[in-house]
């Protein structure tokens, strides 16, 4: 069963987050990867040329919310100033979480 025709199971969400602040060269992608893997989420994380980080995540709502809290906090040395979330159209077909 899928949710709203987005290709994700009922009770799951598919989101794209753009994370701004001091989020590159501080282990941010690895922080997100470890947390997402621990939570059993699917998706990926990558640095963008403008200095921000993009996170695409799919999973049960509660687990995605827990990851968002970890993303907003970041690892030591980081400083997250903004997390802009949008729906990830069409979901994301991945078996695990990766760093791109």
Q: Which residue numbers are catalytic?
A: 29, 47
Enter the DSSP assignment of 7: S
Collapsed DSSP state (helix, strand, coil) of residue 57? strand
Rounded distance, CA 55 to CA 23, Å?
12
Count of helices and strands (H, E) across the chain: 2, 5
Contact 34, 98 (CB under 8 A): no
């Amino acid at each position: 069963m899928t949710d709203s025709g987005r290709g994700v199971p009922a009770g799951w969400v598919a989101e794209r987050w753009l994370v701004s602040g001091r989020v590159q060269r501080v282990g941010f992608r690895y922080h997100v990867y470890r947390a997402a893997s621990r939570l059993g989420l699917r998706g990926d994380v990558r640095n963008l040329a403008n200095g921000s980080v993009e996170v695409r995540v799919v999973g049960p709502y509660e687990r995605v919310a827990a990851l968002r809290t970890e993303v907003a906090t970041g690892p030591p040395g980081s400083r997250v100033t903004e997390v802009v979330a949008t729906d990830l159209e069409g979901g994301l077909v991945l078996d695990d979480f990766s760093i791109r």
